């Protein structure tokens, strides 16, 4: 009998945790169709690039990855999916070497498009009208990392002035609690200790469950149900809007045995004038009250903040207001984004464009502030004992893990500790993580 070589596929994922969950799911679909998944740098017959559109680097990064894939294997069948693919399908299809481009709905049908992997003279694209996308496709990562990203929600109805995500992913829609719980049990049965709940607007969970706009379930009900999933030891909320982070959610996490004391809450600006310009659905006093509530019931909780600098109309005074607001806020770290103009957004036509040099200057100041915040948060926990989930990655003979409250910890690599949870005493900061006091490592739980 003649041996037929197994088709191979490699993935490159850009952007958020949601993209990683979807890439992993599509990978499992291709494996079921007989593909062997290989590392990107090993080359493959089929290369799938899952793109992001959050910044203006989307085009540059996408082209760079395409060139890299073709340098590894000039005959690779290049397929581009994801947010950027939905927004600019024709543009991407015209890039030399690209064979197939799939939009927001079509990417989950990838197996139907890749039976023939012969290179094309010109790339083809399949992209729907984003307004017609009203179904939810579930997804979760598995095996790529110690923690699993579980998709529970997709799309967004908020239409913030700077954001292209509604154009790339469509209206807000969700999985059902029953199905999320079933996926969580399946993931836990595979040996995963921690699940990170992810979505575009995670706190908006419950809308669009059966193609409609009515909210049928709530995020609070979801976390209550997941807290009973015995197969999973830790759950983490990836990101949640401040106006959707209700006190009942905060209080529930405070007494939960499974949900970790860690919140990532987008702010974007500490200036109320800029928040209004951005079309955000809250003002700074509400944000401050959420932080105060978290710290009142969980003083040890980590709080991460997204902030954008250089939005149109942001004066020096507006920025200083943001800086002062963040400086006094009891948060643990910042994710700082330099505003970039995005086509088809409200903000692109706004007056008061901030010079790029000034944007970078403001970004640098906030990144320095973030480092100080993180160092202070880490120092406040030195000498305390916290549970750490050790991860598989090995760097320079060391392994890393994260505490329940998201402090990065390192120790000498020990394969037996991978994917186990240990109680450890936090020793010294070195330099962006915390070392362990060896004498108090507890017995391995996992």
pLDDT recorded at residue 185 = 97
Q: For 119-146, how does the pLDDT look when each residue is reduced to its tens digit (9 = 90+)?
A: 988 899 998 788 888 889 999 998 767 8
Class at the top of the CATH hierarchy for domain 134-260: alpha beta
pLDDT recorded at residue 224 = 98
- Residues of the chain below pLDDT 50: 1-2, 443-446
pTM for the full model?
0.92
pLDDT recorded at residue 301 = 98
pLDDT recorded at residue 350 = 97
8-128 and 263-379 agree in CATH topology = no
pLDDT recorded at residue 67 = 94
Q: What is the 3-state secondary structure (H, E, C) of the chain?
A: CCCCCCCEEEEEECCCHHHHHHHHHHHHHHHHCCCEEECHHHCCCEEEEEECCCCCCHHHHHHHHHHHHHHHCCCCEEEEEEHHHHHCHHHHHCCCCEEEEECCCHHHHHHHCCCCCCCCCCCEEECCCHHHCCCCCCEECCCCCCCEEEECEECCCCCCCCCCHHHHHCCCEECCHHHHHHHHHHHHHCCCCEEEEECCCHHHCCECCCCCCCECCCHHHHHHHHCCCCCCCEEEECCCCCCCCCHHHHHHHHHCCCECCEEEEEEECCCHHHHHHHCCCCCHHHHHHHHHHHHHHCCCCEEEEEEEECCCCCCHHHHHHHHHHHHHCCCCEEEEEECCCCCCCHHHHCCCCCCHHHHHHHHHHHHHHHHHHHHHHHHCCCCCEEEEEEEEEEECCEEEEEECCCCEEEEECCHHHCCCEEEEEEEEECCCCEEEEHHHCCCCCC
In sequence order, the β-bridge partners of residue 401 are 390, 409
pLDDT recorded at residue 446 = 45
pLDDT recorded at residue 213 = 66
The architecture that CATH gives domain 8-128 is: 3-Layer(aba) Sandwich (3.40)
CATH topology of domain 263-379: Transcription Regulator spoIIAA (3.30.750)
In sequence order, the β-bridge partners of residue 437 are 425
CA dist 414 and 198 (Å) reads 30
Going from N- to C-terminal start, the domains of the chain cover 8-128, 134-260, 263-379, 385-440
pLDDT recorded at residue 4 = 54
Q: For 155-202, how does the pLDDT look when each residue is reduced to its tens digit (9 = 90+)?
A: 999 999 999 999 999 999 999 999 999 999 999 999 999 999 999 999
pLDDT recorded at residue 209 = 74
């Amino acid at each position: 009998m003649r041996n037929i070589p197994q088709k191979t596929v490699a993935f490159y994922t850009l952007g958020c945790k949601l993209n990683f969950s979807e890439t992993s799911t599509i990978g499992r679909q291709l494996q079921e169709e007989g593909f062997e998944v290989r590392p990107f740098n090993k080359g493959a017959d089929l290369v799938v690039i899952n793109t992001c559109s959050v910044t203006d680097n989307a085009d540059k990064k996408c082209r760079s990855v395409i060139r890299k894939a073709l340098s590894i294997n000039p005959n690779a069948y290049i397929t581009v999916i994801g947010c950027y693919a939905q927004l600019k399908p024709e543009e991407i299809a015209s890039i030399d070497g690209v064979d197939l481009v799939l939009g927001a709905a079509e990417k989950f049908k990838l197996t139907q498009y890749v039976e023939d992997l012969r290179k094309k003279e010109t790339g083809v694209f399949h992209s729907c009208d984003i307004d017609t996308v009203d179904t939810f496709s579930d997804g979760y990562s598995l095996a790529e990392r110690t923690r699993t990203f579980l998709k529970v929600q997709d799309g967004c109805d908020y239409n913030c002035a700077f954001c292209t995500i509604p154009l790339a992913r469509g209206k807000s829609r969700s999985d059902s609690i029953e199905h999320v719980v079933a996926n969580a049990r399946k993931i836990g049965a595979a040996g995963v200790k921690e699940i990170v709940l992810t979505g575009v607007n995670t706190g908006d969970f419950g809308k669009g469950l059966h193609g409609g706009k009515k909210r049928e379930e709530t995020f609070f009900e979801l976390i209550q149900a997941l807290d009973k999933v015995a197969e999973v030891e830790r759950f983490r909320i990836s990101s949640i809007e401040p106006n959707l982070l209700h006190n009942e959610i905060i209080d529930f996490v405070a007494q939960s045995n499974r949900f970790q004391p860690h919140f990532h809450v987008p702010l974007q600006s500490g200036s109320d004038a800029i928040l209004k310009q951005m079309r955000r659905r809250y003002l700074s006093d509400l944000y401050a009250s959420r932080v105060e509530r978290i710290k009142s019931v969980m003083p040890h909780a980590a709080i991460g903040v997204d902030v954008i600098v250089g939005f149109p109309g942001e004066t020096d005074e507006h920025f200083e207001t943001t800086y002062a607001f963040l400086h006094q806020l009891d948060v643990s770290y910042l994710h700082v984004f330099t505003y970039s103009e995005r086509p088809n957004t409200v903000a692109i036509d706004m007056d008061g464009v901030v010079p790029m040099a000034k944007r970078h200057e403001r970004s640098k100041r906030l990144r320095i502030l973030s480092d100080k915040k993180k160092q202070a948060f880490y120092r406040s926990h030195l000498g305390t004992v916290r549970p750490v989930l050790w991860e598989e990655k090995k760097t320079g003979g060391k392994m890393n893990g994260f505490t329940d409250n998201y402090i990065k910890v390192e120790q000498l690599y020990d394969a037996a500790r991978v994917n186990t949870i240990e109680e450890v005493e936090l020793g010294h900061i070195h330099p962006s993580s915390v070392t362990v006091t060896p004498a108090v490592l507890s017995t391995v739980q996992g």
